[in-house]
Amino acid sequence: DIQMTQSPSSLSASVGDRVTITCRASQGISNYLAWYQQKPGKIPKLLIYGASTLQSGVPSRFSGSGSGTDFTLTISSLQPEDVATYYCQKYNSAPLTFGGGTKVEIK
Amino acid sequence: QVLLVQSGAEVKKPGASVKVSCKASGYTFSGYYMHWVRQAPGQGLEWMGWINPNSGGTNYAQKFQDRVSMTRDTSISTAYMELSRLRSDDTAVYYCARSASGYGGAYSFDYWGQGTLVTVSS
């Protein structure tokens, strides 16, 4: 099975900072990669699919890039409401594995 | 609007089974695969499998292959996930989530249920 590895596992940044989270697949998955945001005590929310397509209603400060095995989620200007854990997920084929998550906090 | 409403919290003893329901509304239930995902306390997300509500066909993660059963009742737009031979490490929040496309299960998840906490304790 393909493994999904996220880094870092946690980060702390200041409001307004540019934040980048990486996700690496153990084998190529083309662009079948999604990103989810899970705020504390809440359900996951789809942010990006197809590696770079923003889900409707998601703020434009979020962006995704990558293809094959290496992907990134970028928050261009971190806001207090972005405090959450972010997960990548591959969905090219079953099993639809998630990465381990990246916890984002405000410094 | 699309809504997925799950059944309430459960407390089970080791070795027992649990069945969680997920009632869909706001869209054609049979048109979108339903997935089940779990999250142990303080841990990440773990995909368990999917069901095609139209055919009833399933695809389970190997880890759960011999203990999970996903079914559906199209007459009431409800999907079910039953996990048997429960262990303490099955304590988790269980979510249903809808495939973002009507073309199959290999898609992202655009709507999630509110989650059902299953606690396994003697």
How do residues B24-73 score in pLDDT, each as one tens digit? 999 999 999 999 999 999 999 999 999 999 999 999 999 999 999 999 99
Give per-residue pLDDT as tens, B61-120. 999 999 999 999 999 999 999 999 999 999 999 999 999 998 888 999 999 999 999 999
Residue A72 confidence class, pLDDT cut points 50, 70, 90: very high
Residues of chain B contacting A49 with CB distance shorter than 8 Å:
100, 107-108
Question: Which pLDDT score, from 0 to 100, does residue B97 have?
Answer: 98
Residues of chain B contacting A97 with CB distance shorter than 8 Å:
47
Give DSSP secondary structure letters for A38-81. Answer: E-TTS--EEEEETTTEEPTT--TTEEEEEETTEEEEEESS--GG
Question: Which pLDDT score, from 0 to 100, does residue B102 have?
Answer: 85
Nearest CA in chain B to A51: B108
Give per-residue pLDDT as tens, A2-49. 999 999 999 999 999 999 999 999 999 999 999 999 999 999 999 999
Nearest Cα of chain A lies from the Cα of B47 at a distance, in angstroms, of: 6
Question: Which pLDDT score, from 0 to 100, does residue B103 have?
Answer: 87
Taking CA atoms, B7 is separated from A7, B79, B115, in Å, by 35, 11, 8
Nearest CA in chain B to A32: B107
Nearest Cα of chain B lies from the Cα of A94 at a distance, in angstroms, of: 7
What's the rounded Cα separation, in Å, for the pair B67 and A86? 29
